[in-house]
Structure 1
Amino acid sequence: MKISVLDQTQLLEGITAEEGFAHSVELAKYVDKLGYHRYWLSEHHSTDALAGSSPEILASHLLAKTDHIKVGTGGVMLPHYSAYKVAENFKVMSALATGRVDMGVGRAPGGHHLSTIALQGERARNVDIFPDQIDQVLEYLEDTLPENHPIRGLETTPVIDRKPELWILGTSNSSAILAAEKGLPYAFAQFINYQPGGMEQALKLYVDNFTPSKYLEKPKVLVTMKVIVASTDQKAEKIAESALRFNYYLHRGRLTRVVDSEKALSHVINPSEKREMESVKETYIIGSKETVAQKIKELTNKFPIDELMAITPIYDFEERKRSFKLLKEAVGE
């Protein structure tokens, strides 16, 4: 099974955005050398906790800093933008790094309502346009506007030989069915939708309803999960507390920076909150290399997963790098 990385450019307590981006560059170069398959960047707005407000720019920078790994977006929140401009951006990237560019697109806002208003020029757009925008992006990438299209004759430049790979991102049954009907690869964000049975149902709908297309002959599934690997199970459990703290506040409507695991959950003393943390932890993959290898085997035996994309919010950057090294060894690619 292929393994990849999702980088939310989560900022650590006490560092600048510049330092956070430097971490992303170093990590991308590191996992490229380890042989990871993809490195995706997410899109978030109007928060001091996540620096990635323009994943296309960061992806372009990382393509220039790496040699082999595929780089892309996980994803561009398409309803905010012109499908034409998005297609142009990715054609430019594809011309600069042929065969290494992924275009992951989603319909989520990537922020609260004020950033949505600002991004859409104070003209609210219905997210229901997302399926049509998928068609538009594909038409622009291929320069195949229908004969009766009102702007037939438009070119999407530059003209390139190899197009970026388009992925539909989602957390729901509707996104799974959309990807299936379009005949496109599907990336399920389990780290967002960790409701019991949610992933199983969505992936089944995608596989069962998949229609082959000129882009893809059979279903192609990527699942993104929080993965924390360390030298022992106990150490992995401890350093995972930084990520669990993020979830704790996210459930309460707050986005927070990643803090040292030594103090991350010191405030969680209520029994119900402790049960909440244990429940969230069940949706992670946490443990030593051996434990994680077994958990991944169980996961792939149960679900039709072609690729695991790890999101690994560890406070200590060297521990974060070590987690990715151990994960690569656990998968044994």
Structure 2
Amino acid sequence: MKNKIENIFTEWNKSGDFSGVFSVSNNKREIIFEAACGYRNMSESLENNIETSFGVASGTKILTGIAVCKLIEDQNLNLDDRVIEILDFNFPYFSNGITVKHLLTHTSGVPDYFDEEITDDYESIWNDRPVYKITELEHFLPLFQNQKMKFEPGTRYAYSNGGYILLGLIIEKVSGQSFRGYVTEKILKPCGMNNSGFFRTNMLPANTALGHIYDRNLEGFRTNIFSIPIVGASDGGFYTNAKDMNILWDHLMNKDILIKDMKDQMLLPHVFAEQRGENINYGLGVYINQIEKEIMNYHIIGYDPGVVFFSVFYPKSGIIATALANTGQIDTYPLLVELNKIIYS
């Protein structure tokens, strides 16, 4: 298997454009294959290494899903609780029927501050909004709280970062802690994810990759420090490395970060492929690749300017694979597709 994985990685990266880390481990967390390429800091020629931490963009949503499930587990929240009964903010056009489950499964109809059905230019959101002022979850609200619903809750699927911002605010309201504080206390520390956190882009720890964007006008790479919020939120912006992703999957799948009933609820397909218009189901913050009744894998993905990411768990074999990149020069998703073919065979 090592040779097969190395071959697909080499073929996928034949352009040599990958800047990041790709790591595959078995069910005993022994490394099957790993590679580190490119630079975590291009201007200083500091190379990426296996321990380097990277931004994961929307890969953060799995943490939000786990955090909500922990509050439900502790009987402080329910999937069917209505958002309007929890949050005190003004949402003049939002349906009274939006539930926590609707938000988790992207079926709420809540408008998105970055609507991928309309645009893929995430940087443009911040043209007139200083990213260094987006430090709290409520700072995202003016971007979407006064917009009209996209559809009635539960009638269809539409990916919504705005919905996950609301989930973060719900976590803060119910727990009495900041979202980042709750995730750190209840997930990162108990799991021992020591290389992970909601790092500020202007205060990155040692061995953490800067995101780099190729600018055709400038004919070179610039960092993404002005292209994403200065600190991560409940919809994205978390930093981690391959080792800590292994730890997270292990604790979610094999240990006690969630009790079994809650874990099963999180990993249950709640939105099916035909509803999404794609060939992947969706749980509570995680994608589910299912063929007939067999779960082939659980995975998370993330894209931001200067960030490309996936991490996948294969329940049958226990294999975990993670790809973290700090440029958008090459998409990691085709690598996941080729990896699936090897693991499934």
Q: TM-score range by the shorter chain?
A: under 0.3
Higher helix share: 1
Specify which structure has the bigger relative contact order, considering alpha-carbon pairs within 8 angstroms and separated by 6 or more residues: 2
State the TM-score, normalizing by the size of structure 1.
0.27
